[in-house]
Amino acid sequence: MTIAITGATGQLGRLAIASLQSRGITPIGLARDPAKAADLHIETRAFDYTAHSQHAAALVGVTTLVLISSNDFNDRAGQHRAVIASAKAAGVSRIVYTSLLHADTSPMLLAADHKATEAAILASGLTYTFLRNGWYTENHTGSLAGAIAAGALIGSAGEGRFSAAARADYADAIAVTSASDAQDNAVYELAGDTAYSLADFAAEVSRQTGKAIPYTDLPPETYAGILQSFGLPAGFAHVLADSDVRAAAGALFNDSRTLSRLIGRPTTPMATTVAAALA
């Protein structure tokens, strides 16, 4: 079995590679700029989702392709479809795809590309494993510096609960499933063991910093506007605000504990990820 991982120099890709290496498996890294993967000490091939001419050479000898979803929202589903077609042409036998929690039924704007990608993989006839990842706790800790400076955490999630897990938890799921054929043609709804609201998150940040950092709930239009004022593109700000609104209605809650069973350990507590971000 030869495993290749797209987005090898990204945050999730690096962790997935490290997780495979800890299991005695050396994957091939696929990256837009292989030079940035020198510290990974693995074979790394040039691979841009949009550079179709690179795909054939990059996928030579690959049997299992871990397709980490593109972070380029410019026709992301189209980028994925091109990679899937290239994988089939190159003789790849299986795709492990990082999707979104309840991608087939989720009302989130983020879900559309994932639903379309899953459909394309199914239509290809390739063996598949869909890792429907829930929210990353780092999606919240990433804005901690600004929240602490402003003295408040903002969002539009109301009392909605996020069954979030650390990025490393999802990376371990990639390693476990890509290294074994026991998960062939399987769909996993992956989420953290313990859910929290943004008010809970703000309370934990307050506890760890010793500062009062309340959660302020905003109308989605207001929240998106503030995100844009921070420099986020309007479209992406709208997607993030929509994600909060959908979370308020339960779209990012899941109490199945499938992720912890799959990786053989409890998922990382939110407080631990907060502490790491503050360190």
pLDDT tens digits, one per residue of 51-72: 999 999 999 999 999 999 998 8
Q: Looking at residue 135, what is its pLDDT? A: 98
Does the residue 207 lie in any domain?
A: no
Q: Which residue has the tokens 């290294």?
A: 179
Query: Under DSSP, is residue 71 helix (H, G, I), strand (E, B) or coil?
Result: coil
What is the mean pLDDT of the segment spanning 78-89?
97
Q: Which residues contact 47 (CB under 8 A, 6 or more apart)?
A: 6, 30, 31, 32, 54, 55, 58
Name the DSSP class of 188.
Answer: E
Q: Which range of residues forms the domain containing residue 7?
A: 3-137+165-190+255-265
Rounded Cα–Cα distance for residues 79 and 83 (Å): 6
User: Does the pLDDT of residue 107 top 90, yes or no?
Assistant: yes
What is the mean pLDDT of the segment spanning 128-147?
96
Does the residue 18 lie in any domain?
A: yes
Q: Which of 182, 207, 201 is nearest to 244 (CA)?
A: 201
Which residues face 127 on adjacent strands?
94
Percentage of residues of the chain with pLDDT beyond 90: 97
Does the residue 219 lie in any domain?
A: no
Q: Looking at residue 207, what is its pLDDT? A: 98
Does the residue 206 lie in any domain?
A: no
Four-residue CA torsion sign, 207, 208, 212, 217: negative
Rounded Cα–Cα distance for residues 95 and 14 (Å): 18
Does the residue 261 lie in any domain?
A: yes
What are the pLDDT digits (tens) for 6-52? 999 999 999 999 999 999 999 999 999 999 999 999 999 999 999 99
Does the residue 225 lie in any domain?
A: no
How does residue 74 score in pLDDT terms, banded at 50, 70 and 90? confident
Judge if pTM exceeds 0.75.
yes
- Our count of domains for the chain comes to 1
Does the residue 82 lie in any domain?
A: yes
Q: For the domain that residue 61 is a member of, what is the CATH number?
A: 3.40.50.720
Q: Looking at residue 72, what is its pLDDT? A: 86
Q: Looking at residue 73, what is its pLDDT? A: 83
What are the pLDDT digits (tens) for 239-266? 999 999 999 999 999 999 999 999 999 9
Does the residue 148 lie in any domain?
A: no
What is the mean pLDDT of the segment spanning 187-192?
98
